[in-house]
Amino acid sequence: MTLTAIQALPYCLPLKVPFKTSKGPIHERKGWIIQLHTDGGLVGQGECAPLPGWSPDLWADYASLLPGFLDQLDLAALSGDTAQLSRALDDLTPGRPALRFALESALFDLAAQADDVPLARWLNPQAPLTVPVNAVLPLGEVQATVDLAHEWVRQGFRTLKLKVGGPESHAVVAAVREALGGAIKIRLDANGQWDRATAIREINAYEPYDIEYIEQPTPAHDLPALAEVRRRVGIPVAADESFTGPASAKILIETGAIDVLVMKPMINGGLLACQAAARMARDAGVQVVVTTTLDSVVGRLGAAHLAAGVASPELAQGLATGPWLTRDLAPDPALIKGGKLMLPDRPGLGIDPVPQP
């Protein structure tokens, strides 16, 4: 199989309503679909969509640099075995995890198509094609959040993730727990906004509400604070923004800072980096959750195939984010029913080449 061409299809997808977080609202997702073509007529796809305010790489940089990068890219550099490919991508995409995720997704999509297996089973032959997923509730007023929680539960979701940190967060969590009872799992996400003393106080105040875990209570860079918080609270602690790749995962695990490792392959350096970090986590008894960054169908599928292969099967994954988009680039072949995402039993990502938006 020889690569013959590469192209980037730009897109912009508005959200139905702003997705409110402690870092501010997200109004749209924009980026590029990277398509790799082969001499045999196969097309591999990946998504390059850094999320402003969250990703280390910037959308504006890609807007100016990506066309030239693709024009000068030696496609032969992307051939070879996985180890050779990883070294090539280290050279091609330093400091650009969104681009690495896109190129890896497209290349592995091609490899899985050539082997006639879904990408999840190309990554891990034992991977299931059904993955439990959670619904996400952004920061909001009490009644609006309770109403949204009821709607997600009516659709079959059994795990809800609530963003916290607003003035009504405690009232919201209490109201959601009272409205839904004890059968629904609730996890919280603080997006790194608290210092260690505030985090300990806030988390302990949430303990009566039977919280599955709380994600990123302290700033991403302050790993000692995260470790201290974990030692002093009764709710399991997860790292999200503190995880930037295998090196950070090693530190988080060795310092006893986390119970759960949350990974976003668009931000964390792609599929191979997340696979390596997940192996470390599993060996240390740390659970793994994979989430999206409100991506299009292509990026969501890449994250979902990864989740099937590496995530903790007993935990819901953060993959049910397509409904936040006003429209998508193509119909999503990964159906969600009863709180479970069903990956397509097709080779590769399982989606036909998306057209020019």
**Spans of all domains in the chain:** 3-116, 122-342
Split at pLDDT 50, 70, 90, the class of 65 is: confident
The pLDDT tens digits for 323-350 are 999 999 999 999 999 999 999 999 999 9
Please give the CATH topology (third level) of the domain spanning 3-116: Enolase-like; domain 1 (3.30.390)
Told to judge if 163 belongs to the known catalytic residues of this protein, a careful annotator would answer yes
- Following DSSP, what letter does each residue of 48-82 receive, concatenated? E---TTT-SS-HHHHHHHHHHHHHH--GGGG-S-H
92 pLDDT band (50/70/90 cuts)? confident
Q: Is the pLDDT of residue 281 over 90?
A: yes
Rounded average pLDDT over 149-156: 96
pLDDT of residue 79: 79
For residue 22, the SS3 value is coil
Q: Tell me, yes or no, if 23 is annotated catalytic.
A: no
Range 122-342 classified under CATH 3.20.20.120: yes
The per-residue pLDDT for 56 is 87
Per-residue pLDDT band at 132 (split at 50, 70, 90) = very high
Q: Of these residues, 163, 185, 250, 340, which one is catalytic?
A: 163
The yes-or-no verdict on residue 307 having pLDDT over 80 is: yes
Identical fold at 3-116 and 122-342? no
Model confidence band, residue 175 (pLDDT cutoffs 50, 70, 90): very high
**Own/partner pairs, 201-207, CB within 8 angstroms, 24+ separation:** 202/164, 203/229, 203/233, 203/234, 203/235, 203/237, 204/233, 204/234, 205/170, 206/164, 206/170, 206/173, 206/235, 207/233, 207/234, 207/235
Considering 30, 161, 185, 264, which one is annotated as catalytic? 264
List of residues 6+ apart from 68 with CB closer than 8 A: none
Would you place residue 164 in the very low, low, confident or very high pLDDT band (cuts 50, 70, 90)?
very high
